[in-house]
Each structure stands twice: as structure tokens, then as C-alpha cells.
Amino acid sequence: MDAGLAAVLGALAGSVATIGAALATGWAQREEARIAARAEHRRERREPRLEAYRAFISATSDLREQSTFFTVRDLVPDDLDEVTTDLLFQAVSGMKESALEVSLAGPRRVSKEAIKIQRLGSELSTNV
């Protein structure tokens, strides 16, 4: 093998190695970008759910606080003042709005449970 052929083969091997490294780097960068995009998508989906769930839990806790008095029939007086009933109806109304947000945020099984809780709250307020 003469020096000219060795130089050409060396240059060819170097260029093939450089192209291979560039392709591997490009593939790795695409995979990294895909992983980052997937993580960002999950975060964007999770964040509204988190806020909806937080609001629903808060509204449900408020309803529980207002309705504890009504859960035992023997403790409920015959004549209720308007302030007590208004607070209960406001709590039920807040919970209905929060349940709607939760049902829109999903997933389906969480939505079903939120609607069940909202219906129980509505039944409680209509029985008072």
C-alpha cells in the first residue's frame, strides 16, 4: 500500500467516524428532547388537576364543617336560622362548582367519585 492510498483511506475512515458520531449525537438529542417534551406535557396535564382537586377538597371540607350539625337528626333543631342554612347552601354551591372542575379535569374514576360526593351534598341541603 502506498502513502497516497493510506492517506485517502485514513481520511475516509475519519469522515465516516465523524458522520457516525454526528448521527449518534443527533439521535441522542432528539431522544432527550422527546423525553423533556413528554415530561412537560405530563406536568401541564397534572397542574390543572392539582388545582381542581385542591379546590374540591377545600370546598368539601367547608361543606363537612357546615353540615356536621345536620348529620344527626336528633341534634337538628326544629327551627333553623337563616344564617345557618345560607352557610350550608353556599358550601353546597361551592362544592358543585368544584366538582364540575374536577369532573372536567379527570380522570374518569375521580370524576365519578366527585359527582357522587356532590350529589350527597345536594341531597343533604335539600333535606334541611
Contact 63, 121 (CB under 8 A): yes
Residues in the chain: 128
The whole-number average pLDDT for the span 76-88 is 72
Proportion of the chain above pLDDT 70, given as a percent? 88
pLDDT higher than 80, residue 35: yes
59-78 pLDDT per residue, tens: 888 888 877 766 666 666 66
* Predicted pLDDT of residue 94: 85
